[in-house]
Amino acid sequence: MRPIRLTCSAILAFALCWVGARRSGPLPPLGPLLDPANGAVGAARAARIPPRMKGIVPGLAGAVTITYDDRAVPHVVAGSPEDAYRALGWVVARDRLFQLELQTRAAAGTLSELNPQLLRLDTVARRIGLGWAAERKFALLKEGGPERRSLDAYADGVNAYVAQMQPWELPIEYRLLGRLPMRWEPKHTMYLLSRMNQTLSFQVPEYSVVLAGALVGRAAAEQLYAAEAPIQEPIQPNGQKATRFDLRKLPPPGAPDTAILSAAGTVALAASAVGGATAGDPEWREASNNWAVSPRRTKHGYAILSGDPHLDLSLPSIWYEAHLTVKGELDAYGFTFAGTPSIVLGFNRDVAWSATNTGADVLDLYRETVDDGRHPTKYKLDGAWVPLEVHEEVYRGPGGRRLQLDTLYFTHRGPMRSLRGAWVSMRWTALDTTNAAASIAVFQRAQRATSVATLMTAMEGYVAPAQNFIMADRAGSIGIRSTGRYPIRPGNGSGIEVRDGSTRASDWTGYWPLDQYPQSVNPAQGFLASANQQPIDPKVNKRYLGASWPAPFRAMRINQRLRADSAWTPDAIRRMQVDSGSARADLFVPEFLGAAERLAKGGHGAPELTHAAALLAEWSRSYTPGDKRAVLFESAMEFLSRGVWDELIPADSLSPLRPPVPGAMALARLMRDPASPWWDDKRTPGVVESRDDMLAAALVGALNDLTKKYGDENGEAWQWGRRGPIEINHLLRLAPFGEHGVQARSGPETIAPRAANGTHSSSERLLVETGPELHAWTTYPGGQSGNPFSRYYKNRVPQWASGGLDSALFGAVPPNRTIATLTLVPAGSR
């Protein structure tokens, strides 16, 4: 008996030690996970913020005091900017350690080391050169220069926290993945900035035009995705007192352009190979709003600034709120990204600023000629063979096992890929190393700006991603500038073509001079606003800046409201931030109703059309959670889009040459041409549909579909809040750590937006009233802590959803609003 017992015990003990210490399939090591003191449940203990904390940070010149206010915002008081950045690194690591690592891995292309299923994202990140550019930019930072010192200081803070962290403070995500935090390197900040470039400026407008051109001819395709928006409400005021409509007829669909079919294939594959980017359906993504009102249009006589960047929502949020103070040098409050040693969007005593994405075309593709179609070593340039930069990439999985090998090629322009035998390279401002320090320096300079003028000067070197920076100062000035580096292309200057890479004549010839940037200071209209729309009216400046402009519906609504009032208060601006009215609905609802009325008058109005139109007419054109008609409009728009753009569906359903659905601007132009051949539904041979036929069919189709799915039109299932809630996923999409079904006043293309199935919306809201005494309010859909069990993990979500804001504590934190203090001291101190 004894040998058997011994053997069984030994096997069991060994097996348990094995699963305790090693990964077993999808399971992390069970020992550290289940450990009730230091394992996953330790997250409950780590959720507390002890009232008094102390830490040691090597490199600190003196003690730094950090006071956490009752929203868990750290107020850092340091003796030097570097010490402030060390402290910022510490507090961000304490609250967002896993986020720091995940973002860096996303740019470095090493997510597969956490989960092999993320390999595809890694290949994209590496192939578009995110890590390649980050490394090169970091290498160019001057050792001992202010930017490098700030990155070093930030890294000191992060690593000091990690070194002194208790085992139970390890973020739960690491326990679930069975990993320990990586060391934070100063260069990781550059990775984070690369990642932001991917999010905000990786757009390939060539994709849409070339693919659609292959199906309906280039002339029609260029108008479907027109570089010039037919509805103009530009960022740089154009002197008009209302929206300018230029809804010219769309050219009819032409014959498939076989000449560009091969190019279309190349571009389609290029776009997918380098990142899967498209310019399709732009108005549903990458949206943001900001606006500023001059003192003469505000009730209190002070300028007011509103900032509202829209991004994919996540828990923890991409933003972290902080206040940095260095006596006599720095006193800035606002939002920073985890990993960035500065306030990115915020304010100081004198000036406030925020940003929206410009969406300029800063990425071009080139057909390259190489010496060997399979294993190239050189590419042709002006008749000579030039060596390629070649990198062998290894992708690893958990435990370091090798998952995949890849060879990356780089020309002087940037990354190059092989696509069905063709080689295509990419030039992208995000990869340019000129002025590498600027991406760090501009925000650090902005923190110290004293006016709109000095803030604009501070941001002059900014490269990418291009942003519409809006600002307002205590003297009452307001300003905006679409800041970034905009390429000047040879020839016609267009960025919507794949150029010949074998000659330098195809290369960019320079960048826009600063004085031509879209910009304005203290305009006569008394306000400024941006919502990602085309920045300059082409009537003012026709130079090509981009082609991926979202429809200006949010800009229309914002400007319409700003024009209508001359006594703005901060609270009125706060309410406007969550305005759920829709200029898009104002444009298209009358089209549906008009079609139904015309058909009825002509004796073609079926009862179900009359009923559908009556339901739509009931709609307030506002996306409130309880509204039961918004869903009908959205569904009708979907039906309409599917019916109208059937010419863009390739005959071969498996073809990769599938252009994105044209946006609402093309549809708006089409409305002015009731008999356009685009209206005809090719799936109904023998019948030629008109505009009204298609509008009616879409409306009736939507009603029938919704009734079938959700029952009676007055039932609760039709409520917009149930059909269009906000979804805030955890970074790893772990359902228990997300916030789902959030009811908010938001809809597609409203000022308070909801896009991409509810996962994209307002990522933070900032409201600042400047003047002798500054007042500021903030919120964001999350909380300061990255610990899902902290009361500060998602505590602001209800406030955010209801349109509320908290007053930001800008100044000393009073004792009754202090929840904790942290003192950081230099190594060797007691």
Partner 1 sequence: MKALLGILMLSAAFAVGTYTVGWWAVPVLGAAWGLAATPDRRPARVAGLSAALGWCALFALTASYGSAMEVATAVGTIMKAGTAGFLALMLLFPLALAASAAGVTSALRGAST
Which positions touch partner 1 (CB under 8 A)? 2, 5-6, 8-10, 12-13, 16-17, 20, 27, 30-45, 47-48, 167-168, 172, 176, 734-737, 788-789
Least CB distance to partner 1 at residue 54 (A): 19
Backbone φ and ψ of 501, nearest 5°: -85, -5
Contacts of 791 (CB under 8 A, 6+ apart): 47, 783, 785
Least CB distance to partner 1 at residue 106 (A): 21
Contact by Cβ (8 Å): 234, 243: no
Of 357, 367, 473, 481, nearest to 420 (Cα)?
367
Contact by Cβ (8 Å): 664, 673: no
Nearer to partner 1, 163 or 675 (CB): 163
Q: How far are the Cα atoms of 128, 139, 364, 367 from residue 388, in angstroms, in the given order?
A: 16, 20, 19, 15
Nearer to partner 1, 685 or 736 (CB): 736
Q: Which long-range contacts (CB under 8 A, 24 or more apart) does 535-539 make?
A: 535/234, 535/235, 535/236, 535/358, 535/360, 535/468, 535/482, 536/234, 536/235, 536/236, 536/238, 537/232, 537/234, 537/236, 537/238, 537/244, 538/228, 538/232, 539/232, 539/238, 539/244
Least CB distance to partner 1 at residue 14 (A): 8
Contacts of 19 (CB under 8 A, 6+ apart): 27, 29, 30
Nearer to partner 1, 21 or 505 (CB): 21
**Residue matched to tokens 């659905």:** 661
Least CB distance to partner 1 at residue 336 (A): 27
Nearer to partner 1, 36 or 715 (CB): 36
Sequence-ordered alpha helix ranges (H) in 376-459: 438-446, 452-458
Nearer to partner 1, 68 or 428 (CB): 68
Gap between the Cα atoms of 724 and 347, Å rounded: 33
Least CB distance to partner 1 at residue 164 (A): 17
Mapped to the 3 state alphabet, what secondary structure does 498-523 carry?
A: CEECCCHHHCCCEECCHHHCCEEECC
Least CB distance to partner 1 at residue 405 (A): 32
Nearer to partner 1, 31 or 804 (CB): 31
Of 229, 225, 98, 228, nearest to 158 (Cα)?
98
Of 562, 568, 575, 577, nearest to 306 (Cα)?
577
Nearer to partner 1, 9 or 516 (CB): 9
Nearer to partner 1, 339 or 788 (CB): 788
Tally DSSP H helices, then E strands, for the chain. 23, 33
Helix (H) or strand (E) holding 217: none
Gap between the Cα atoms of 805 and 632, Å rounded: 31
Least CB distance to partner 1 at residue 69 (A): 21
Nearer to partner 1, 298 or 785 (CB): 785
Least CB distance to partner 1 at residue 55 (A): 20
Least CB distance to partner 1 at residue 187 (A): 32
Least CB distance to partner 1 at residue 662 (A): 41
Q: Which two tokens stand for residue 460?
A: 């002059």
Nearer to partner 1, 78 or 102 (CB): 102
Nearer to partner 1, 175 or 691 (CB): 175
Backbone φ and ψ of 20, nearest 5°: -75, -35
Gap between the Cα atoms of 598 and 615, Å rounded: 17
Least CB distance to partner 1 at residue 740 (A): 13
Nearer to partner 1, 168 or 335 (CB): 168
Interior angle at CA 495, CA 493 and CA 498, nearest 5: 115
Nearer to partner 1, 9 or 620 (CB): 9
Least CB distance to partner 1 at residue 792 (A): 12
Gap between the Cα atoms of 675 and 695, Å rounded: 13
Of 286, 306, 356, nearest to 759 (Cα)?
286
Nearer to partner 1, 162 or 442 (CB): 162
Least CB distance to partner 1 at residue 786 (A): 14
Gap between the Cα atoms of 741 and 153, Å rounded: 40
Least CB distance to partner 1 at residue 16 (A): 4
Nearer to partner 1, 8 or 505 (CB): 8
Gap between the Cα atoms of 401 and 173, Å rounded: 21
Gap between the Cα atoms of 313 and 761, Å rounded: 7
Mapped to the 3 state alphabet, what secondary structure does 71-95 carry?
A: CCCEEEEECCHHHHHHHHHHHHHHH
Strands (E), 736-796: 739-742, 760-762, 765-769, 775-779
Nearer to partner 1, 572 or 734 (CB): 734
Least CB distance to partner 1 at residue 2 (A): 6
Backbone φ and ψ of 528, nearest 5°: -140, 150
Gap between the Cα atoms of 128 and 428, Å rounded: 9
Least CB distance to partner 1 at residue 743 (A): 23
